[in-house]
């Protein structure tokens, strides 16, 4: 699992009692990677939030309420109060920006994509059996 590549695999050191859990699965052992090595551009207060929320042992993992009390969420500048945020104009225009090309497109215009109906292969018709006693 990808998470274990970061946190290391569960063991008795980082999660006391884990090997006694009824559905415990032993994974190939891996050591944790220091968060500072992965997230080199973020400050220590955010590293602390990540470490606390990604702790393997659920009894030592912080709750969302505890995380919100951490220093990271109280740094300056404080969040902008909702009433001071800019209002989004209700735009009834049918023009949007294509996320992949950045070009304006009209809503409803024909675009090909991996998931368009043009690229779908219809499933064969499946006959339903009637098991009702008549």
Whether 88 is in a domain gets the answer no
Whether 31 is in a domain gets the answer yes
Domain extent at residue 47: 2-74
The percentage of residues in the chain with a pLDDT greater than 70, rounded to a whole number, is 66
In the chain, which residue ranges form alpha helices assigned H by DSSP? 2-7, 35-38, 44-53, 64-68
Split into its structural domains, the chain has a count of 1
Distance CA 123, CA 26 (A): 40
pLDDT lower than 70: segments of the chain = 90-134
Whether 10 is in a domain gets the answer yes
What pLDDT, on a 0 to 100 scale, did the predictor assign at position 48? 96
What pLDDT, on a 0 to 100 scale, did the predictor assign at position 78? 80
The domain spanning residue 7 has which CATH number?
Answer: 1.10.510.10
What pLDDT, on a 0 to 100 scale, did the predictor assign at position 76? 86
Query: The pTM is what?
Result: 0.56
What is the overall mean pLDDT for the chain? 79
Q: Are 35 and 41 in contact (CB under 8 A)?
A: no
What pLDDT, on a 0 to 100 scale, did the predictor assign at position 118? 46
Model confidence over 66-89: pLDDT tens digits? 999 999 999 888 878 888 888 877
Residue among 23, 21, 16, 51 at smallest CA distance from 36: 51
What pLDDT, on a 0 to 100 scale, did the predictor assign at position 84? 87
């Amino acid at each position: 699992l990808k998470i274990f590549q970061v946190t290391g695999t569960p063991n008795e050191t980082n999660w006391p009692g884990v090997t006694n859990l009824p559905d415990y699965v032993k994974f190939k052992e891996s050591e944790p990677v220091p968060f500072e090595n992965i997230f080199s551009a973020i400050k220590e207060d955010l590293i602390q939030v990540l470490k606390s929320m990604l702790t393997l042992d659920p009894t030592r993992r912080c709750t969302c309420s505890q995380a919100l009390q951490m220093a990271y969420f109280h740094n300056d500048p404080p969040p902008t109060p909702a009433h001071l945020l800019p209002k989004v104009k209700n735009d009834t225009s049918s023009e949007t920006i294509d996320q992949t090309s950045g070009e304006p497109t009209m809503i409803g215009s024909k675009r090909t994509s991996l998931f368009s109906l043009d690229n779908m292969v219809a499933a064969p018709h499946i006959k339903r059996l009637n098991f009702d006693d008549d």
